[in-house]
A and B are shown apart, each in its own frame.
Chain A
Amino acid sequence: MLSLKLLQNLWKRPEARAFPPAQAEILAALQARLQEASQRRLGRSLAVRHVDTGGCGGCELELQALDSVIYDLSRFGLSFVESPRHADVLLVTGPVTHNMKAGMERAYAAMGQPKWVVAVGDCAIDGGVFQGSYACGNGVTTIPVDLVIRGCPPTPHQILEGLLTLLEANATGG
């Protein structure tokens, strides 16, 4: 009796009806909404890799100040990371000495997509006072620069302003 029941059940088709395929339009709309929400919630964070291409150390002092309790960079979702592989932003200071050019380019190449480059300080923008030296070029020229922050050195406030603008652009998918 039991074996008959088992056999019947084996031959019978399931009671549950087949599920209709996902509707392409709704799927696309949902995906877009999810993307937007996650971007809003998770996109407000940028990992920054700093590269000193031979500056005097002035810009670096102001970057260190950003990490202090006064500016408290991490509350904005900005953090300095050790490896360019973990970074969204390559933050370049210094006039890009010939001796540091290859290092900077390698760090850029190691970064995953999407990536941003920020040139901080007059040196990184166009060589600053060191323009025309036999030992350096005119700032960051061999990798694409997305944002420049002027000053010699720029104040921590100016640097923060620039980075927050970038954060906003990144979060709103600009």
Chain B
Amino acid sequence: MMEAGAFIRAAQKEELRPYPRFLLSADEWQALSAALVETPHPALLALWAESDRVHALFQDENGDLLPVASPVVNGAYAALSPARPAAIWFERVIRDLWGHFAEGGRDYQPWLDHGTWAMAAPLSLRPKARVGEELPREFAAPEEEDVHQFALGPISGGIAKPLHLRITMHGDSPLAAEFYLGYAHKGIMALMRGKLPRVAARFAARLSGDATVAHALAYAHAVEAALGVQVPPRAIALRAVMAELERIAHHLFQIGVIAKTAKFGILHAGCGTPLEELRAGTALAFGHRLMMDCVVPGGLAADIAADGQATLLGTLDALQAKIQDLAALSFSEPAFLARLQGIGRLSEKLVRELAPGGPIGRAYGSHSDTRRRPGYPPYDSLEVPLPDVSSADAAGYLKILFAELRTSMDLARRLLEHLPDGEISTPLTASSGEGLGVAEAPRGDIWHWVRLDGGMIAASFAADPGWRHWPLLEAALVGGTLEDMPLCLACFHCSVSAVDL
């Protein structure tokens, strides 16, 4: 049997911009699924479907992208989950939305479909009407003595996301943790279908509020690739400014949440001030505190405000000193650091299989950063350093967050100081094509795929890093004690809405 990466490359190529796709027959797809069991490479980044085919996105050890597609025969395709645990969640969603069955899969429980919609498989060609059919998630009840289960959500905590968490405990050691999501399913892909790319951008921007720039950017990259549109340099620079500011906001928020959970109140409070200053700056410069709907296919919805450049440079100056103080505060508090040490340790095998991205992935030793590879403008002309990794736990993650804060501040400042003049948008053509776009969000790599038909969205899919991080979080929760669970949840801080679609 050929090595899996070589096996994919030997297949027939199809047009998908900018990364050509490999088309496998159903038998070849099955052979691929068997070949993947032998090796951790290539890693699975995303798996999705259309009414007649199934798509996968792989990345090999050199960082090369391998998009693959295969026809769905009699409503079924060979499951990838035996070889790639990340595929489990995707396969469940493919069944819920398109109705395709993953043969030989590891989990057939519904996820997005809780039985409340008027139809089953809403993205299939002919969705079947359904009334009053409940599809409750079945959790395996513990059979051993001394083993108990407790359930949290979908409404729990203070200001919390809608999700259900089932934890199985033996005494006070966790045996299993399982998330049940789907409460935030809004049917975004159906809403995007048949709309002009700029209209549909509003949905891409609302996949995840704290990564709205990154999702809109990955989506815009996909549409622009499909239509072969060139974006003006000023728009490219301003998009990157927004993406870096979004990262700064996310990391500050994230450090605050970790501090709050670890009961380090002064650090939590300290993160709130620069975060609010940043939001005030983005509101002045771009007209929206979260910069929602600012990035659109073809460029930007509006130019930066007349005094926006000076405002943001001033904000960055003010933030610089505050963030330095926060870092000094964090790393001079041994009790805080000791609390974080060892939280979230995982087996290397599982980390390799799930290939996490972003600062979480980098804390586990991954070199993945899509700004570096595959790279996209303007980062090809800027240097994005990889942060130093100290330990694969929450303490190491905190260090990475601070290092990335410094990098993003530096990048945003350099971009703002050398802002090119000119147009901020290119008109889109009403042509057809397929595109795959990527953007490095605060939490990792976001992939958007679109198929355009006569200038309209015919099909789309968005892969948030959460797809690979949620299963990793399940494993991390089991690795520690009950008291460590809130800290694990705070560190991973996965998006519910972006994976619930």
Contacts and interface: CB of A to CB of B under 8 A. Distances in A.
A152 B187 CA distance: 18
Given A54-B184, A135-B186, A153 B117 contact: no
A64 interface: yes
A93 B154 CA distance: 14
Contacts of B292: 58, 152
A63 B209 CA distance: 12
A77 interface: no
B191 A130 contact: yes
Interface in A36-72: 50-65, 67-70
A85 B345 CA distance: 37
A99 B161 contact: no
B122 interface: yes
Given A54-B186, A58-B290, A61-B209, A134 B119 contact: yes
A109 to B, nearest CB: 12
Interface stretch (A9-17, A100-108, A161-169): A100-108
Contacts of B290: 58, 61, 153
B253 A61 contact: yes
A52 B156 CA distance: 10
Given A103-B154, A136-B186, A65 B159 contact: no
A32 interface: no
A57 B118 contact: no
B190 A133 contact: yes
A60 to B, nearest CB: 6
Q: Which of A57, A68, A129 has the most CB of B within 10 A?
A: A57
Nearest to B207: A56
Contacts of A33: none
A82 B158 contact: yes
Interface in B210-262: 210, 212, 253, 256
Given A67-B159, A100-B162, A54 B190 contact: no
Interface in B173-207: 182-188, 190-191, 202-203, 206-207
A52 B160 contact: yes
B497 A57 contact: yes
B390 interface: no
Contacts of A100: 154, 162, 183-184
A155 interface: yes
Contacts of B187: 130, 133-136
A138 interface: no
A28 to B, nearest CB: 42
A99 B190 CA distance: 17
A62 to B, nearest CB: 8
A139 interface: no
Interface in B23-67: none
Contact of B496 (A57, A59, A129, A152): A57
B495 interface: yes
Interface stretch (B9-17, B272-280, B356-364, B434-442): B272-280
A132 B112 CA distance: 18
A138 B163 CA distance: 21
B297 to A, nearest CB: 17
A152 B290 CA distance: 10
B208 interface: yes
Contacts of A58: 206, 209-210, 212, 290, 292
B484 interface: no
Contacts of B182: 99
Nearest 6 CB-CB pairings of A with B: A58-B209, A68-B272, A57-B209, A135-B187, A98-B116, A54-B184
Interface of A: 50-65, 67-70, 80-82, 84, 94-95, 97-104, 107, 129-130, 132-136, 152-153, 155
Given A56-B497, A60-B209, 16 more contacts: A50-B160, A51-B162, A52-B159, A56-B208, A60-B161, A65-B272, A69-B269, A82-B158, A99-B112, A99-B116, A100-B162, A133-B187, A133-B191, A135-B185, A136-B187, A152-B292
22 contacts: A54-B497, A56-B209, A56-B212, A57-B209, A58-B206, A58-B212, A61-B210, A64-B159, A68-B276, A70-B273, A81-B158, A82-B156, A97-B184, A99-B112, A99-B114, A99-B185, A101-B116, A130-B206, A133-B190, A134-B119, A135-B187, A153-B209
